Amino acid sequence: MNAPRPYALLAEITYRCPLHCPYCSNPTRMRNNGELTTGEWGRVIREAAGLGVLQIGFSGGEPLARRDLAELIHGAREARLYTNLITSGVGLDANRARELRDAGLDSVQLSFQSDHVDLADEIAGANAHQRKLDAAANIRAAGIPLSLNFVIHRRNIDRLPQIIELTETLGAVRVELANVQFYGWAFLNRAALLPTREQVARAREVANAAKTRLTGKIDIFYVLPDYYETRPKPCLNGWGQRYLTVNPLGDVLPCPTASSAIPNLRFENVRERPLDWIWRESESFNRFRGTEWMPEPCRSCPQKEIDFGGCRCQAALLTGNAANTDPVCTLSPNRAQVDAVLRDLDQSSGHTREWTPRVNPRKAAIRPNA
C-alpha cells in the first residue's frame, strides 16, 4: 500500500511522572527500564524529519524528567522541526525554561487539573498546582508561547467557568478543554470519571459562550466526550495517515494508546528497524490504513472518509476487536456497549466513586543516557 507522509511525531520520552492523574493515557502496565538514549532519540528525530515530519511533541510521562530534554529539542530544531513541549510544569523553574528556550523550544502546552488548588492537587495526587502556576509565569517570562491543557471529567467539569477564567489570568494564547477519552488509566477509572449527560450539556454551553466572548484573544478548543456523541471522532485523521508516536522504549505506534489497547498487534521498535520501513511497510501501520480493512456498516458508509470508522483503540477496548466500527457510532452493532455504560452512570450519578491513581512504572534500573 502507498504510504502517505507523516506530519507529526509524538515523542514519549519517558513514562516517569511526578503526578498520578487517574485519567492518564499511558498504559496501566509500564516498564521504565530501557528508555531510548539521547543518541537513539537523535536518530529517531532525524529519521522522522526525513519521512516528512514537520512537528514534534515531547511528551511522556513527564518529559522534564529527562535531563537531556534541551539536547533533544536542539536536535529537533537542527532537523527543522517545530518543537512542542507537553508538560505538567513540575520542575520547570526559570532556569530550565530559559535553557529550553535557548535550545529552540517553540511552544509549551502546560497541563492543569483544575482551577483550584485543593481539587487540582487531589486529582494530580501531588502538590502540583502552585508549581504549575509558577511554571506558567516562567514560560511567559522566557518568552515562549503558552497553551494550556485541561482534561475535563466528572469531578472538574462543573468548574469550567472558573477554569476558563484561570486561562485568561495566565495569559495563554490557546487552551484545550478536552473531555476525558477512555484509554489507559482513564479506561480503568471510567466509572469515576465519566460526566453525566446534564453536566456535558451545561459544559458545552459554557465552552461555546467562552469561545464567542474570547474570539481573537484566546483560541479555545473544546473536545467533546465521545460516548455522548452519535458519530465517532475522526481518530488521528485515519490510522497511519499523519501521525506517529514513539514510546519511551522505542516502540513505534500509529496512536499513543495502541500498544495497550490492541495487545494482539505487533509493534515494531526503532532499535530493530528504520523508522521509514516501520511507517511504510510494517503490519501495524498498514493494518488499518485506508478503507479496505473496514467492516460494515463502515464499508458502505458515506462518512467513511470523514471519520475513518472512528477509533481502533476504542473498538478494541469495548468490543474486543480493533477492526470493528467504533461502538460510539449509533450505526455500530455494538453501540449497546456504550449505552450500557451511560445507563449505569444515570442510575448511580449521585455517588462519588473512587479512582485508582496512576502509578509510575516498576522500579527497575534505568540505563544511563549515552
| Residues binding other proteins (CB under 8 A) | 5, 7, 49, 52, 54-55, 80, 82, 84, 106-107, 109, 143-145, 147, 173-174, 216, 219
Choose between 42 and 250: whose C-beta lies nearer to other proteins: 42
Q: How far is the CB of 147 from other proteins (least distance, A)?
A: 5
**What is the grid cell recorded at 141?**
517570562
Choose between 82 and 228: whose C-beta lies nearer to other proteins: 82
Contact 230, 329 (CB under 8 A): yes
Q: How far is the CB of 221 from other proteins (least distance, A)?
A: 8
Provide the residue type at 351 as one letter.
H
3-state secondary structure of 201: helix
Q: How far is the CB of 171 from other proteins (least distance, A)?
A: 11
By C-alpha distance, which of 26, 1, 7 is closest to 16?
26
Q: How far apart are the first and last CA of the chain?
A: 37
Going from the C-alpha of 87 to that of each of 14, 83, 149, 175, the distances in angstroms are 12, 13, 9, 14
3-state secondary structure of 99: helix
Q: How far is the CB of 357 from other proteins (least distance, A)?
A: 28
Helix (H) or strand (E) run with residue 160 in it: helix 160-169
Q: How far is the CB of 150 from other proteins (least distance, A)?
A: 15
By C-alpha distance, which of 77, 219, 78, 228 is closest to 148?
219
Please tell me the distance from the alpha carbon of residue 136 to that of residue 129, in angstroms, as a whole number.
11
Choose between 68 and 106: whose C-beta lies nearer to other proteins: 106
Please tell me the distance from the alpha carbon of residue 155 to that of residue 165, in angstroms, as a whole number.
18
Rg (CA), the chain: 20
Choose between 147 and 314: whose C-beta lies nearer to other proteins: 147
Q: How far is the CB of 58 from other proteins (least distance, A)?
A: 13
Q: Which residues does 83 contact at the CB level (< 8 Å), separation at least 6? A: 56, 58, 73, 76, 77, 104, 105, 106, 107
Residues forming beta bridges with residue 146, ordered by sequence position: 108
Please tell me the distance from the alpha carbon of residue 125 to that of residue 119, in angstroms, as a whole number.
10
Choose between 55 and 260: whose C-beta lies nearer to other proteins: 55
Choose between 119 and 223: whose C-beta lies nearer to other proteins: 223
The DSSP letter of residue 366 is: P
Please tell me the distance from the alpha carbon of residue 140 to that of residue 143, in angstroms, as a whole number.
5
Q: How far is the CB of 167 from other proteins (least distance, A)?
A: 14
Choose between 143 and 302: whose C-beta lies nearer to other proteins: 143
Choose between 5 and 31: whose C-beta lies nearer to other proteins: 5
Burial class (CB in 10 A: 0-12, 13-18, 19+), 194: buried
Choose between 146 and 298: whose C-beta lies nearer to other proteins: 146
Q: How far is the CB of 242 from other proteins (least distance, A)?
A: 10
Q: How far is the CB of 326 from other proteins (least distance, A)?
A: 23
